Amino acid sequence: MRGVADVDLTAALALALGRATARVLEAPGFVVGRDTRQSGPSLQGAFSDGLAAEGVAVADVGVLPTPGVAFVARARGLPAAVVSASHNPYQDNGIKLFSAEGTKLPVETERAIEKELDALLDSPEHRSTRPSGSVVVDAEAAGEYRRGVVAALGGRRLDGLHVVLDCANGAASAVAPAVFESVGAQVEVVFDRPDGMNINDGCGSTHPAALSAAVLERGATLGLAFDGDADRLVAADHHGVIADGDTLLALFAIDMAGRGQLAGDSVVVTVMSNLGFHLAMSERKISVVETPVGDRAVLGALEAGGFDLGGEQSGHILFPRLSSTGDGILTGLMLADLIVRSGVGLAPLSAGLIERVPQVLRNVVVLEPHRLAGATDVWATVTEVEASLGSTGRVLLRASGTEPVVRVMVETFDPEAAELAVDRLCAAVEGSLGRPTGS
């Protein structure tokens, strides 16, 4: 659930959601945390009160990264919730639920909660017959998470590594510096002064120019930028050049395959990864498993295939043997460890690794974007276009979940061919799904 705080997502709605969640999950305890948004305390309090009203014992872990809350949930065998809107601006907020395994809830469970929520909103006077629960501040959770992340290094250290951390004025601010300092890194921190309104504001993984500038100014070896709830990461080398999720996944895949730690010599990515990533992996005999957009799809493919690495171009990267969800701090620690073990910096490791294939993206406004999956004439055109582009071209069509548009993307080294292909695909989409009057 996500929207503008106090407009789309109100305290009353959060309270009802807490009650609905407690009724469906029927857990005796619950872990609840948040990021640094101005609206966080009131929404967290309301959601927790809803849980407690249904007899649940709530552990209030305060400000903690989303993966930290998931870690604590898994360690304690309790479901959890995070009040956060991730990389969105401070005006937005949301509530994300986790199972007792630290993973997203099954779709069927989410639907059951939605149904119960609707019933409660229709009849808010319907109270629980169970004794009231409690909400207790838990000051131990942050340390528990920090120790868990550090344990992933297996005793290795980062002595001599000079790193800049951009905490996005978010949940990483009170956690990430301590993690890196505890393993010997020389740490300098920027954007670690949250005031409730500056989360993700010109900083963090969605605004990496600030990280580049800080690395150059301070002469650091490596820069790491998280988003507001610290489940994403982008990096910068000592020249200030940014490495996105595709580059990081390629580095991890090659390193893990070389150490015999990449199951099936395979990596899972979404359809948004650049064709250059696919070509780089093919050259190194690493298979790429492609999924729809979203970490749920990536996690599903990782679990189904028993794979060890997956993620998204945005920097949301998953190491399923180490964490139940994407974790920017863990990812940064693994990257720093890779660099220390290699004996060279990020720049030489990533130089020439991925040759980015130029991309043309166009949004097509249509009457019925939901009909895309069954539009056989559109997919016939896609097949023809893919054949004309060959192995060095790629086509992606995706209906937006929030707008009446179909996103058409073509990647190829020939810009003219890309434009022609997009024109042809857009015409097919409009012809099949309908063009709104006046557009």
**Active-site annotation, residues:** 86
Residue 356 burial by CB count (10 A; 0-12/13-18/19+): exposed, middle or buried? Answer: middle
Secondary structure (H, E, C), 291-331: ECCCHHHHHHHHHHHCCCCEECCCCCEECCCCCCCCCHHHH
SS3 letters for the chain? Answer: CEEEECCCECHHHHHHHHHHHHHHHCCCEEEEEECCCCCHHHHHHHHHHHHHHCCCEEEEEEECCHHHHHHHHHHHCCCEEEECCCCCCCCEEEEEEECCCCCECCHHHHHHHHHHHHHHHHCCCCCCCCCCCEEEECCCHHHHHHHHHHHCCCCCCCCCCEEEEECCCCHHHHCHHHHHHHCCCEEEEECCCCCCCCCCCCCCCCCCHHHHHHHHHHCCCEEEEECCCCCCEEEECCCCCEECHHHHHHHHHHHHHHCCCCHHHEEEEECCCCHHHHHHHHHCCCEEEEECCCHHHHHHHHHHHCCCCEECCCCCEECCCCCCCCCHHHHHHHHHHHHHHHCCCHHHHHCCCCCCCCEEEEEEECCCHHHHHHCHHHHHHHHHHHHHHHHHEEEEEEECCCCCEEEEEEEECCHHHHHHHHHHHHHHHHHHHCCCCCC
Angle between the 328-342 and 141-151 helix axes, to the nearest 10 degrees? 30
- The neighbour count for residue 415, using CB atoms within 10 Å, is 10
What residues contact residue 343 under an 8 Å CB cut-off, 6+ apart?
none
